[in-house]
Amino acid sequence: MLGQRLLPWDYGVRNLFRRPTRSALTFGGLTIVVLLVLVVVGFIRGLEKSLSATGNSRVVLVYSLSSAADIENSSIPGRTSALLGASVDGISRQNGVEYMSPELYLGTRISTANMTEPGMGLVRGVTTSAPLVREQVQIVEGTWPQAGEVIVGRLAHSKLGANKADLAIGQQVLFDGRTWAISGTFTAAGSAFESEIWAPLTELQTTLKRQDLSLVAVRMDSPDSVADVDLFCRERIDLELKAVSESAYYASLQKHYKPVRMLGWVVVALVAGSGIFAGLNTMYGAVVGRIRELATLQALGFRRRAILLTLVQEATLLACAGALVACLIGLILVDGAAVRFTMGAFMLKVDSVGIAIACGVAALLGVVGALPPAVKAMRLPVVEAIKSI
């Protein structure tokens, strides 16, 4: 019997091409909605990846007890690294060199030759032992900074709001009343270090007229040795030091930014919800113009369930096609795009999770957006629907 079977699959596909203008507008709207979802999810995933890539369970951060979790406000004695080396066992060593990095870390206004006004950037004073501790750091262009030079992370320009060419090798940056030449560029596996500018520690101390440090980063032989550094800090109460593993420190930052990530998921839900309402509006318009067609199909013997599935099929096909185009645009334009943030800068990440969420939202838009108008159209009596204009 004709009423026992579904409409042919290609019937719904052909209907999309019978109304090219309406289909194109619906397709464009769904693509924009899915792309917005992909951008927001990419922001959340990029932030999470940046924080997780920065922490190392074998690296211990020693900084001021009074600074809480704000290392920029930390100030510890310059001899701290020497005291740690003499008192703590388990520090990684190779060829007599201790994997210990005394650092001066600050946020300051930085300008380049082409910037109309200075931007807020992050500067870290380091020694040549810094790459031993921050093992994810790799120089991709140029050389390690010498006197009067700095090396910049690949996302430092995004943090400053400057052009990438302004921080190329040979260019100059100005901060704290001194001009520095750029000697190279480094990457750090997507971690927060990539938005920083690194300068020689002693020169930065001289420029700032400071002899203290912000922190000492120590790489241990094993994660279990972290307790030895913590014990040293507890015993030397005169120094007022605090020891935290780097992974634990950046895990706490993830908790700090949890409201931001939650807000991002709320935005995803709102965008998806707005897309569903837009789909409802579009599908209502599409179904109203096809009432006579749908009634004729019922008169021919097709059940309402079969016609309903065809309408859902049409909407889902458009939504999935929009999702494919949105994912393609996201992989080309969104993935790897740099975003400024309070902690520095990070890159948007379009990964399998983001694509899965975007495709899920598209499928939801197609099904949920098509059901209510289709059900309403199916409730009209066949004779009344055929007479409608």
Residue-wise pLDDT tens digits, 58-68: 999 999 988 87
8 A C-beta contact, residue 72 and residue 121: no
Verify that 27 and 77 share a domain, yes or no: no
> How many CB atoms within 10 Å of residue 369?
27
Give the pLDDT of residue 343.
66
Verify that 135 and 275 share a domain, yes or no: no
Give the pLDDT of residue 2.
44
With respect to residue 246, please indicate whether it lies within any of the assigned structural domains. Answer: no
**Percent of the chain surpassing pLDDT 90:** 34
Average pLDDT of the chain to the nearest whole number: 84
Is pLDDT of 389 > 60? no
Verify that 266 and 338 share a domain, yes or no: yes
Establish how many alpha carbons lie within 13 A of residue 264's alpha carbon, considering only the half-sphere containing its beta carbon.
Answer: 19
Q: How many residues does the chain have?
A: 389
* Torsion sign, CA atoms 129, 134, 137, 138: positive
Residue type, 127: T
Verify that 63 and 48 share a domain, yes or no: no
Verify that 217 and 85 share a domain, yes or no: yes
Verify that 198 and 115 share a domain, yes or no: yes
Section 252-275 average pLDDT = 78
Verify that 298 and 381 share a domain, yes or no: yes
With respect to residue 232, please indicate whether it lies within any of the assigned structural domains. Answer: no
Verify that 98 and 42 share a domain, yes or no: no
Q: Find the domain containing 148 and state its range.
A: 59-221
Distance of CA 224 to the CA centre of its chain: 31
8 A C-beta contact, residue 225 and residue 92: no
Verify that 21 and 69 share a domain, yes or no: no
Residues 6+ apart with CB under 8 A from 222: 58, 90
Give me the number of domains the chain comprises. 2
* Torsion sign, CA atoms 385, 386, 388, 389: positive
With respect to residue 311, please indicate whether it lies within any of the assigned structural domains. Answer: yes
8 A C-beta contact, residue 84 and residue 100: yes
Q: 2-11, 97-106, 159-168, 335-344: which range is least confident on average? A: 2-11
Interior CA angle at 219 toward 215 and 220, to 5°?
130
Residues 130, 128: Cα–Cα separation, whole Å:
5
Give the pLDDT of residue 99.
93
Q: Match 């997780």 to its residue by tokens.
A: 52
Would you tell me the crossing angle of helices 258-288 and 246-256 to the nearest 10 degrees?
50
Verify that 357 and 211 share a domain, yes or no: no
8 A C-beta contact, residue 33 and residue 278: yes
Residues 150, 123: Cα–Cα separation, whole Å:
9
Residues 15, 30: Cα–Cα separation, whole Å:
18
8 A C-beta contact, residue 67 and residue 74: yes
pTM for the model stands at 0.78
Verify that 378 and 274 share a domain, yes or no: yes
With respect to residue 230, please indicate whether it lies within any of the assigned structural domains. Answer: no
With respect to residue 64, please indicate whether it lies within any of the assigned structural domains. Answer: yes
pLDDT band for position 283 (50/70/90)? low
If you average pLDDT over each of 162-176, 237-251, 289-303, 373-387, which comes out highest? Answer: 162-176
Of the residues 221, 248, 282, the one at which a domain ends: 221
With respect to residue 15, please indicate whether it lies within any of the assigned structural domains. Answer: yes
Q: Nearest 5°: phi and psi at 218? A: -120, 130
Interior CA angle at 335 toward 195 and 275, to 5°?
125
Per-state percent for the chain, helix, strand, coil, to nearest 5: 55, 20, 25
Verify that 122 and 152 share a domain, yes or no: yes
